[in-house]
Each structure stands twice: as C-alpha cells, then as structure tokens.
Amino acid sequence: MTFSGRVALVAGAGGGMGLNIANDLIAQGIHVCLADIKPAPDTILDGPGGHFYRQGDLSSESFVRDTTADTVARFGRLDYLVNTVGVLLFGEDRSLLDMDLSLWDRVLEINLKSFMLTTRYAVPAMQAAGGGAMVHFSSTQALRGDRAAQDAYGASKGAVRSLSKSIAIQFAGDGIRSNAILPGGTMSPMQARWAGREEEIGASIPLGRLGSTQDQANACLFLLSDEASFITGAELIVDGGATANV
C-alpha cells in the first residue's frame, strides 16, 4: 500500500487497536503523533517513520488543538487521522431508564466528542496539505440493540457512523476522505474479560475465531492508503461474518 511522505495523528494510541495501527504506520515510514490519556506504552516501534507521544484528554479542545498544531509543526503537514478512542463500561452502561446521567455524558464525551474535536482541527491541516484521509472506529453494536442494554456506548457508536458520512460529504471537494470501521468481537485490552475464553467465544463467529487488533489495523491501513482513493463515506464491517449471520 502507498503511504510515502505522509503524516498521521492516531487518537487512542496508548494500547490496543490504536497502538497496533500507529506501529504499522511507523513501519510504513509514516511520521506519527500518538495521543492518548494513558501514559506512553513501551512498545512503540522505533522507525523507520518518526513519532512522538502526547498524553492528555482527547475530549479536551485545548489538548486536541495543541496536539494537532504540534504534529504539523514537527512534521510539516497532516495527511491522516485515525480515531480509535473508546470506553465500554460494563455494568455501569445500561438501559437509559436506569443509567446515571453523568455516565451517559462521560461516554459521549469520550466516544463521540473526541472524534468531533480531532476532525475539527485535522480538516484545516489536511486542506493545507491538499487532502487527506480519516478512519473513525465505530462498532457493530451500532447496527443492533441488545436485551442487556449498553445504551450510551451503542448511541455513541451509531453517531460515529453518521458523523463519518457527514465529514465525507462536506470535505470531498478538498480531497479529504472519511470512512468508518465497525469492528466485531476483537481480542484487545478493552475485552480483557474474554481472556481464557477465546475459543469458546470465537466458535460463535462464522470464521471460527475472535478478531485481533491486527485484523482491524489491516483494514484501517487499506482505507488510509492511496489504493482506497475512491472510497469515502463507507463503512467496513470487520467481524468475521458475525453480522452477516444474524
């Protein structure tokens, strides 16, 4: 895939999918700003692309503004934005009838507001660079309801789908593409509760296994690459066939 001379901001790169994607971009020679509220992991790849890490709250406008400006100042441009920030609060996130409203606000700030803010500051930088590409991580949960409701998470991920399409249409004329990935069951730090049960849970997926963060990273890099230059406003479901089997 073609990426030469590009610069990326990966939001939520402190672990899991975000870190996997950032490392794969660095391996392709892309300069990457990794941003997360968590401390920098010690597994960031050392080149060939350059990188730096900014720790802070991606739902804070000042942090996002300064992070974007710092990326452009260090590397001269911004071509890619990847939004992987997300929180899934099992037990606390439940039916809208029972949920604490402060939790609703917190989930929407992390899972949706951060995407809006990174896009808000990335677009002008991409316009200055002559175009760019974004990938926003939603979830297959955005396609369904559940008896064991997780209403804040589901609503936030549904909104990400809509936001990505709106961005695609608004800025297509600037050569900026926006696509969403909808991961299904993926073994990552967010799903640590599945540890030891991978085979059992994977058996319910048509391809016979849980996804990996590498599966999601592979899809993301394709959508960012020049080989996907005619793809925008799309949703790529990466779930081993689970939603096709419903």
Kindly report the CATH number assigned to the domain that includes residue 110.
3.40.50.720
Question: Into how many domains does the chain fold?
Answer: 1
In a domain, 196, yes or no: no
pLDDT at 190: 63
Cα 150 to its chain centre, rounded Å, is: 19
Is 53 one of the catalytic residues?
Answer: no
Instruction: Tell whether 198 is covered by a domain.
Output: no
In a domain, 199, yes or no: no
129 falls within a domain: yes
pLDDT value at position 157?
96
Contact 231, 219 (CB under 8 A): no
Boundaries of domain holding 232 = 7-185+216-245
pLDDT values of the chain reduced to their tens digit, one per residue, 246 residues: 888 789 999 999 999 999 999 999 999 999 999 999 999 999 999 999 999 999 999 999 999 999 999 999 999 999 999 999 998 887 788 898 989 999 999 999 999 999 999 999 999 999 999 999 999 999 998 998 888 888 999 999 999 999 999 999 999 999 999 999 999 888 767 666 656 677 777 788 888 988 899 999 999 999 999 999 999 999 999 999 999 987
Asked whether the beta carbons of 175 and 131 are under 8 A apart, the reply is: yes
Q: Percent of the chain scored above 90 by pLDDT?
A: 77
Query: What does the pLDDT look like over 79-124, one tens digit per residue?
Result: 999 999 998 887 788 898 989 999 999 999 999 999 999 999 999 9
Catalytic member of 53, 80, 121, 153: 153
C-alpha triplet 229, 231, 234: angle, nearest 5°: 155
Residue 21 lies in a domain: yes
Q: What's this model's pTM, rounded to 2 decimal places?
A: 0.93
144 within a domain of the structure (yes/no): yes
Q: Give domain status of residue 194, yes or no.
A: no
Distances in Å between the alpha carbon of 156 and those of 32, 75, 103, 104?
26, 32, 12, 9
Q: State how far Cα 41 lies from the chain centre.
A: 18
Burial class (CB in 10 A: 0-12, 13-18, 19+), 181: buried
Cis previous bond, 41, omega within 30: no
- Spatial distance between the Cα atoms of 211 and 243, rounded to a whole number of angstroms: 13
Residue 80, in any domain of the structure: yes
pLDDT value of residue 191: 63
